Chain A
Amino acid sequence: DAKTTQPNSMESNEEEPVHLPCNHSTISGTDYIHWYRQLPSQGPEYVIHGLTSNVNNRMASLAIAEDRKSSTLILHRATLRDAAVYYCILREFQGAQKLVFGQGTRLTINP
């Protein structure tokens, strides 16, 4: 499985944008980039995914580099409820399509 690298922790302020980076230099052409988050005492929650183009949904935006070796999850206006561990994961298109979780980025939001 191709690996991802994320900072261990990040901190931001409430109502400000947050950019969470992820490096995946060994990504293959068929790997999708998925982001999940895990709030305290809960199971992981799907956030967003993409292949080549930037993606937007109600939760966040995903910016994918042109060479696909990195991506950034953007929370446009962070709230206290966005404090969580964020996981950047590469998922193969074929086969098991399993999620391989790394350690993720622990995001702290200051009031």
Chain B
Amino acid sequence: DADVTQTPRNRITKTGKRIMLECSQTKGHDRMYWYRQDPGLGLRLIYYSFDVKDINKGEISDGYSVSRQAQAKFSLSLESAIPNQTALYFCATSGGQEAGPQPQHFGDGTRLSIL
């Protein structure tokens, strides 16, 4: 079983719909992240959370919201989807910083298409 699980893996929806992407992890990590990737580009950070009560905006948070329901669960919502939010979305987790920045562990991604 994967350590970081994203659901759904693929989603096609229409402009204006509300969409939720879910991420769960079994690694016991406190830190969780949401990124998006557009074709030919690197990943960009949307939101990140250091624990259940901590939520922070990344570089491209407009149009997105998140919920950290538990240590193991971090959801990304698009309240009213628009076509330029069509992208590949990745969730990641990492441990604390006991010995410097710890590696991030990524899920397999959710491919989202908004028509």
Contact = CB atoms under 8 A, between A and B. Distances in A.
Contact of B104 (A32, A46, A93, A102): A46
Interface residues of B, number: 26
B90 interface: yes
Given A96-B48, A100-B45, A103-B42, A43 B109 contact: yes
Contacts of B109: 42-43
Interface in B56-115: 56, 58, 90, 92, 94, 97, 100-109
User: Chain A contact residues: over half helix, strand or loop, or mixed?
Assistant: loop
Given A44-B90, A49-B101, A98-B45, 7 more contacts: A32-B100, A43-B107, A44-B104, A87-B42, A96-B56, A97-B101, A101-B35
27 contacts: A34-B101, A34-B103, A42-B108, A42-B109, A43-B90, A43-B108, A43-B109, A44-B43, A46-B105, A49-B100, A49-B101, A49-B103, A51-B100, A91-B101, A92-B101, A96-B48, A97-B94, A97-B97, A97-B101, A98-B45, A99-B33, A99-B43, A100-B45, A101-B42, A103-B40, A103-B41, A103-B42
Interface of A: 32, 34, 36, 42-46, 49, 51, 87, 91-93, 96-104
